[in-house]
Amino acid sequence: MQKRNKKLLGILACAASLSGVAAGAVQVSKANISEVKAATNSVGSRQLGVDVASYQSNDMSGFSNSGSQFAIVKVSEGTNYRNPKASSQISSALKNNMMPMAYHFATFGANSSAAVAEANYAVSSAKALGLPSGSYIACDWESGQGNNISSGKNPSANAILAFMKQIQQSGYKPLLYSGAYLLNNNINTSTILSQFPNSLWVASYAQAGRIDNPNFNYFPSMDGVAIWQFTDNWRGLNVDGNITLLPLSYNSSSTQAPIQEAAKPSNNTTTQSSSSEAKTSKTVMYKSLVYDKNGNKTGKSIAAYSQVTVLGGMVQINGRAYYKIGDNQYIVLNNVDGKMRTLSHNAYVYNNKGNRVYSAGKMIRGNSLKTYGAKYHINGKGYYRINKNRYIKAGNF
């Protein structure tokens, strides 16, 4: 969310597009984005919006003119910081017919009492800065500013719930923002969704650099997503780009009631595929064996760079994460979504012959990114694959 914390989110879905261009180049497909009349108290599904902090301008008109239907404004952090531009940003959003929402950067980690104190500060800040009564206030829970993300999935979820419940009791609608990696690995997200269905605002990027419209081939398949943050440089405006998955409103009944969607199977269980299961098209980035509901190999496989239809969200089988692709057919999730690794320094990109494919000016900058499959050996040196025929030396991680 905050620029200084971007590298810590663990949200990059892929280092570059399948065409093999350098990370940072624009390679996206047009999403099915509908055109609706903007409003200050509601926004439809598949609508674009931005989130802003003190790094962005007071004036939201440029974002509105580029198609933004809503603005999520940072109002506070901890219990002693308020965004000095928030009042102007909220006012400008309203003047430009954008629906304003807010977020609070959490520093409470897994401390529930501290979470309640921060929620109260977020509410008082939102009121003082002009956020409309009853609007959405998101808990931005990520690494940075001393926020401890390593206290365990259940304690972290319990503290986040304490924050969200206090927001709700104060008359606002709570959301939870974080990167897809943290939501899957550091938070018991199912506990959050059991009490606040469809309350997730998830960050996951298809590639580094500018993205104009979301490519749903890279949507992070998970339950309960209300908003997807798909880039940190929307249309070259150096602002986070988001899209709604559900209609949001603060002048009618809550949109956080359960909707008709597929239930996530429990360990070692499966459901028959049906029209009611959420379906997402994804690209298999690494040759994937097909397993049954018990985690046994079926003898089938999916070739790398093939398109598959994922049914529902992540499924746990014997402690391993899978995607369901058919009746009693599963593939390993990391072969699709990859494994997050952190670069220790800038790195060159190579092809499968060990030759550099980009100049020094096109190095991958120090960041977190996804790798696919096991370590490769090319000319006696170890590499990790980051895309089709694109590799980075293992020593750079």
- 337 as an active site residue: the answer is no
Of 77, 140, 223, 232, catalytic: 140
- Alpha-carbon distance of 253 to 68, in angstroms, equals 24
Single-letter residue type at 72 = I
Residue 316, strand partner residues: 321
What SS3 state is found at 21? coil
- Beta carbons of 271 and 262 less than 8 angstroms apart: yes
DSSP summary character for residue 165: H
> Known catalytic residue: 292?
no
Local structure of 147: helix, strand or coil? strand
Distance from C-alpha of 348 to C-alpha of 393, rounded to nearest angstrom? 8
In the numeric block, which tokens belong to residue 31?
Answer: 């999403």
| Tokens (6 digits) for 149 | 């993300």
Q: State the Cα–Cα distance between residues 387 and 18, nearest whole angstrom.
A: 7
Encoding tokens for residue 208?
């580094």
Kind and range of the H or E element at 309? strand 307-311
Please indicate whether residue 140 is annotated as part of the active site: yes
The tokens for 73 are 């404004």
Alpha-carbon distance of 341 to 375, in angstroms, equals 12
Q: Which amino acid is at 377?
A: H
One of 59, 77, 118, 142 is an active-site residue; which one? 142
Q: Is the C-alpha dihedral spanning 376, 378, 380, 382 positive or negative?
A: negative
Burial-class residue 173 by CB neighbours within 10 Å (0-12, 13-18, 19+): buried
- 92 contacts 74 by C-beta, under 8 angstroms: no
Q: CB–CB of 128/82 below 8 Å?
A: yes
> Position of tokens 């998955």?
245
CA-wise closest residue to 50 among 16, 74, 15, 77: 74
CB 281 within 8 A of CB 304: no
What residues act catalytically? 51, 140, 142
